[in-house]
Structure 1
């Protein structure tokens, strides 16, 4: 019997930093870095980083909802981003680094909206939650050099997370949760 996998797509700034938190969890079959939400077909990294294609750097996750429900993916997603920053994430600035949840089903849309509302009501953030909840759009996998970057270039990956301010923000906002 084959597993019934679902897709989840999240934009959270630099896609290098969005793979590892999801990559090795039970029920996660794959995490692919790529581009979504724009108007250019088959964009390249060089095109997307100009901010002119409309695409955001994102990860697309194939997951088994019986082992790792979508609600848990959302919980993990929120702890990886600054959902109050509409100009990018950490030291990566521009529309291509904004946060967004791209839903694949009506249920995902409802769950994402509920999750966003709960986060807004939690009082954890003083500023409004600006992360967009959008219908899925064509997803274009990034070039091979960007896939599993944390494994291929562990020192550069670690430096990127530290220098960007992402790790400090996560620790300050979420502590050891």
Structure 2
């Protein structure tokens, strides 16, 4: 579905309005100590990257793949993997738990078949952990999301085995191709569904 929408965007680029995204287009401060990172799967990795790069405590987010067994996955061949984002952050400014809380409120954690218009295993959600503290924090955040929504959250908490970086053209896609990206994001219904679940 993402490929179809991007193809449509290429043809409509001159007539599609610039939808308000409530995004900070400035780069996050680069004077932080981004010594920790979080890996999450939230559907399209372009969108997860864009959401997290709004935060001052976050550095340059990387799009990639994780969760599968295939070695050296690519966008055309990443069977078993999820689209993920690797989010470096400054632990003096935020915590793993705060970032997971933020993550849950920017996805549809009730959907086990993908996210928004993107369907299939590669677009399902997950929070990855690397140690016992992160495992506990992720599960606490998940429980809080379930309580807030009053429904079962299907997003699993999974151990991170390896992060594979995606191709260069996927990195900072929302900055390199702003009109196509905004058309895709709006057409896919991401922001509408998130607002329906979580409010503005």
TM-score normalised by structure 2 residue count: 0.80
Q: Shift of residue 175 of structure 1?
A: 2.2
Quote the residue 2:101 is aligned against.
75
Q: Confirm or deny: 8 A CA contact 2:57 2:93 kept in the other structure.
A: yes
Instruction: Give the structure with higher Rg (CA).
Output: 2
- Equivalent pairs counted in the alignment come to 169
Q: Structure 2 unaligned segments of length 5 or more: list them.
A: 1-31
In the alignment, does 2:170 pair up with 1:146?
yes
C-alpha distance in 1, partners of 2:48/2:174?
10
Of 31, 37, 45, which residue of structure 1 is paired with 2:75? 45
- What SS does structure 1 have at the residue aligned with 2:77? helix
Q: How far apart are residue 30 of structure 1 and its match?
A: 2.2
How much has 1:146 moved relative to structure 2? 0.3
Structure 1 runs of 4+ with >6 Å offset:
none
Paired residues of 1:34 and 1:141 also in contact (CA < 8 A):
yes
RMSD of aligned alpha carbons: 1.4
Partner of 1:162: 186
**Whole-Å Cα distance in 1 between the matches of residues 150 and 189 of structure 2?**
17
Structure 1: which 5+ runs fail to align? none
Give the match for residue 48 of structure 2.
Answer: 18
Matched, 1:112 2:166: no
C-alpha deviation, 1:4, in angstroms: 6.4
TM-score of the pair, normalised by structure 1: 0.90
Q: CA deviation at 1:26?
A: 1.7
Whole-Å separation in 1 of the counterparts to 2:157 and 2:147 = 17
CA 1:158–1:118: 2 relative to 1, 3 Å: same
SS in structure 2 opposite 1:168?
Answer: helix
Q: CA deviation at 1:147?
A: 0.3
- Please state whether the residue corresponding to 2:59 is helix, strand or coil: strand
When you count strand as a share of all residues, which structure comes out higher?
A: 1
Answering whether residue 93 of structure 2 is matched by residue 61 of structure 1, we say no
Preserved CA contact (<8 Å) 1:38 1:55: yes
Change (3 A) 1:170 1:44: same
